[in-house]
């Protein structure tokens, strides 16, 4: 088997057995990136020198008998995570020349585990988008068909993993930005519970929703990375002080006796029929593997998208006020006064979708409108969260589609924000309620992959990964690689 088709567990075993060094492994992935990135645009920055230095250090660590399961394994980081001394752009003109002065906690922790940094992946600008078309550095292409989007906002990480330019990559998920692109490119992606993974050094979009996670071919691969990323961090005030499970060990859990609820609201109007059929087949497979499948309802869930498009823009307008053209980021030429400096720096530095969301948020928070929009949305958010709580009184996990359709054409939805926003109709609920959720590949419509989503109660990452792993032991959709990148 070629190196890039191997799982993290297989790569780790190969490194341990001395079949290849981390330097050789790293060179293999760097040459794949060099060959494919012009076509895919998955990486904003390739850190070849850093990668080889990391790999040499990993090989030395192994020689010294100090290697863990991830030592010497190459990965990529979404360009939303600060990397000390490396350009960190958030795919925005605003930060096009920003060199992060410190490492995000997850960057630090994965480095400490011995991973090798291949580079920083492209994304929707400030993680605002579902197609990767809002990036200042241009759209990412879907490796299954370059005319299609890879999803977003973690589209670069998704495309890089799907084309096997990296064994795994980090992502962030505010309204579906890990799960939706994972579904559209045929890989696995987990958004952990809100507060499970530190957000220190992760550029903020909507602070009551943002969460970091992992994208990789399989749930097992995700488990290997999620474990060291998780856990309490004093530098993130929303970080939760709870013990972290051994996610790799927990993969052995059986599906027998597990109750899985099919979310009625997710199989309604708007779900493309081929996608619905593949997801239904996955539900049947879970039943065959021993899970008890029942239908459940979360009646307020269809309100997720309008709720999100009040809450997220409101928080984004506040978070992005830090970009003022003074301390870091883009500054306009020859400002005539301070107001001109603010307005022109921000007007030039932010792209159209980011400005649209800042203005939506500014409006819903403005005097006279706060109660009608923001407070109202927070109340509906309570209703949605309560629906999930009721559902988890009856079942262990929920199941449904990740996205309503397979990957769509680049440009097809770009001019209509509402159509674009509705891509996240099945993913936003988990963010509003702070729940962990995973998308895994479950088949194809034509040449394009389809994802099935599992949602769990708070802190059920181990159970989610185990259920996904049980499915992946019986199916091979997660092993399929686009022909052009096999």
Residues classed as catalytic = 78, 153, 177
- Residues in region 334-353 near other proteins by CB under 8 A: 335-344, 346-348, 350, 352
| Residue 194: φ, ψ to 5° | -55, 125
- Give the x-and-dash track for 268-307 against other proteins (CB under 8 A): --------------------------------x--x-xxx
Nearest to 180 by CA among 196, 157, 163: 157
Closer of 144 and 194 to other proteins (Cβ): 194
Of the pair 144, 459, the CB lying nearest other proteins is at: 459
Residues 384-403 that bind other proteins (CB under 8 A): 385
Q: Interaction with other proteins in 237-256: which residues (CB under 8 A)?
A: 237-238, 240-241
Minimum distance of other proteins from residue 426's CB (angstroms): 17
Residue in 360, 423, 427, 439 binding other proteins, rule: CB under 8 A: 360
- Taking CA atoms, 35 is separated from 26, 131, 302, 379, in Å, by 14, 23, 43, 50
Question: Footprint of other proteins on residues 205-224 (CB under 8 A)?
Answer: 208-209
Q: Which of residues 424-453 bind other proteins (CB under 8 A)?
A: 432-435
Q: Does the footprint of other proteins cover residue 412 (CB under 8 A)?
A: no
Paired tokens of 9 = 């567990």
Q: How far apart are CA 168 and CA 222, in angstroms?
A: 8
What are 83's strand-pairing partners?
86
Distance CA 119, CA 441 (A): 25
Separation CA 188–CA 238 (nearest Å):
26
Q: Does 325 help bind other proteins (rule: CB under 8 A)?
A: yes
Integer distance in angstroms from the first to the last C-alpha of the chain? Answer: 11
CB of 204 to other proteins, least distance (A): 15
Residue 15 near residue 25, CB atoms below 8 Å:
yes
Task: Single out the residue of 4, 6, 78, 381 in contact with other proteins (rule: CB under 8 A).
Answer: 381
The one segment of 22-30, 97-105, 179-187, 463-471 that binds other proteins by CB under 8 A: 97-105
Q: How far is the CB of 460 from other proteins (least distance, A)?
A: 14
Taking CA atoms, 166 is separated from 5, 27, 162, 229, 242, in Å, by: 10, 11, 9, 18, 31
**In 3D, which of 332, 330, 415, 339 has the Cα closest to residue 126?**
330
Query: Within 13 A of 313's CA, how many CA atoms are on the CB side?
Result: 25
Residues 6+ apart with CB under 8 A from 128: 134, 153, 205, 316, 353, 354, 357
Is 177 a binding residue for other proteins by CB under 8 A? The answer is no
At closest approach, how far in Å is the CB of 363 from other proteins?
Answer: 5
In the complex with other proteins, the residue whose CB is nearer, 59 or 387, is 387
Tell me how far apart the alpha carbons of residues 362 and 25 are, in angstroms, rounded to a whole number.
48
Query: Applying CB under 8 A, which part among 172-180, 258-266, 317-325, 439-447 lies near other proteins?
Result: 317-325
Specify whether the backbone of 50 is left (phi greater than 0), alpha (psi in -120 to 50) or beta.
alpha
Q: Residue 295 forms beta bridges with which residues? A: 262
Q: Which residues sit opposite 261 in a β-bridge? A: 294, 398
Of the candidate residues 375, 390, 474, 484, the single one contacting other proteins (CB under 8 A)? 375
Cβ pair 422, 407 in contact under 8 A = no
User: Which parts of 249-393 are beta strand (E)?
Assistant: 259-263, 292-296
- Which of 118, 262, 358, 403 is the binder for other proteins (CB under 8 A)? 358
For the window 179-208, what string marks contact with other proteins as x by the rule CB under 8 A?
--------------xxx------------x
Least separation in angstroms between residue 416's CB and other proteins is 8
Residue 421 or 471 with smaller CB distance to other proteins: 421
CB of residue 326 vs other proteins: minimum separation in angstroms?
5
Q: Which of 192, 189, 165 is nearest to 178 (CA)?
A: 189
C-beta of 222: minimal distance to other proteins in Å?
21
Nearer CB in complex with other proteins: 51/303: 303
């Amino acid at each position: 088997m070629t190196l890039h088709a191997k799982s993290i567990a297989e790569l780790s075993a190969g490194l341990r057995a001395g079949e290849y060094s981390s330097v050789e492994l790293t060179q293999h992935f760097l040459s794949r990136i060099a060959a494919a990135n012009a076509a895919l645009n998955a990486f904003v920055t390739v850190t070849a020198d850093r990668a080889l230095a990391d790999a040499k250090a990993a090989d030395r660590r192994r020689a010294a008998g100090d290697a863990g399961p991830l030592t010497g394994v190459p990965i990529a980081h979404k360009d939303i995570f600060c990397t000390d001394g490396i350009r960190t752009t958030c795919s925005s003109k605003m930060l096009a020349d920003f060199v992060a002065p410190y490492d995000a906690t997850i960057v630090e922790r994965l480095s400490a585990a011995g991973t090798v940094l291949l580079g920083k992946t492209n994304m929707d600008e400030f993680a605002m988008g579902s197609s990767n078309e809002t990036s200042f550095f241009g759209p990412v292409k879907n490796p299954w068909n370059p005319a299609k989007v890879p999803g977003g906002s973690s589209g670069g990480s998704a495309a890089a993993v799907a084309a096997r330019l990296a064994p795994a990559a980090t992502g962030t998920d505010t309204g579906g930005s890990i799960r939706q692109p994972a579904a559209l490119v045929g890989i696995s992606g987990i958004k952990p519970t809100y507060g499970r993974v530190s957000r220190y050094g992760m550029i903020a979009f909507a602070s009551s929703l943002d969460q970091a996670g992992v994208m990789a071919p399989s749930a097992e691969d995700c488990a290997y990375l999620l474990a060291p990323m998780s856990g309490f961090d004093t530098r993130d005030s929303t970080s939760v002080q709870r013990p972290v499970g051994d996610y790799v060990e927990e993969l052995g859990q059986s599906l027998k006796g597990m109750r899985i609820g099919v979310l009625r609201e997710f199989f309604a109007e708007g779900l493309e029929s081929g996608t619905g059929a593949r997801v239904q087949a996955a539900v049947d497979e879970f039943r065959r593997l021993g899970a008890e499948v029942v239908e459940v309802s979360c009646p307020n869930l269809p309100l997720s998208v309008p709720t999100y498009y009040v809450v997220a823009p409101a928080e984004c307008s506040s978070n992005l006020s830090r970009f003022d053209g003074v301390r870091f980021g883009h500054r306009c030429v020859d400002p005539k006064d301070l107001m001109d400096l603010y307005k022109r720096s921000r007007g030039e530095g932010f792209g159209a979708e980011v400005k649209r969301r800042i203005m939506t948020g500014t409006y819903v928070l403005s005097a006279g409108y706060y109660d009608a929009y923001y407070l109202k949305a927070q109340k509906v958010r309570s209703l949605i969260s309560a629906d999930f709580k009721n559902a988890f009184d009856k079942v262990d996990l929920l199941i449904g589609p990740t996205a309503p359709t397979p990957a769509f054409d680049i440009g097809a939805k770009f001019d209509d924000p509402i159509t674009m926003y509705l891509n996240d109709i099945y993913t936003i609920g988990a963010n509003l309620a702070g729940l962990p959720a995973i998308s895994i590949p479950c088949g194809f419509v034509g040449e394009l992959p389809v994802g099935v989503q599992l949602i769990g109660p708070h802190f059920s990452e181990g159970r989610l990964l185990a259920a996904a792993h049980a499915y992946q032991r019986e199916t091979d959709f997660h092993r399929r690689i686009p022909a052009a990148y096999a």
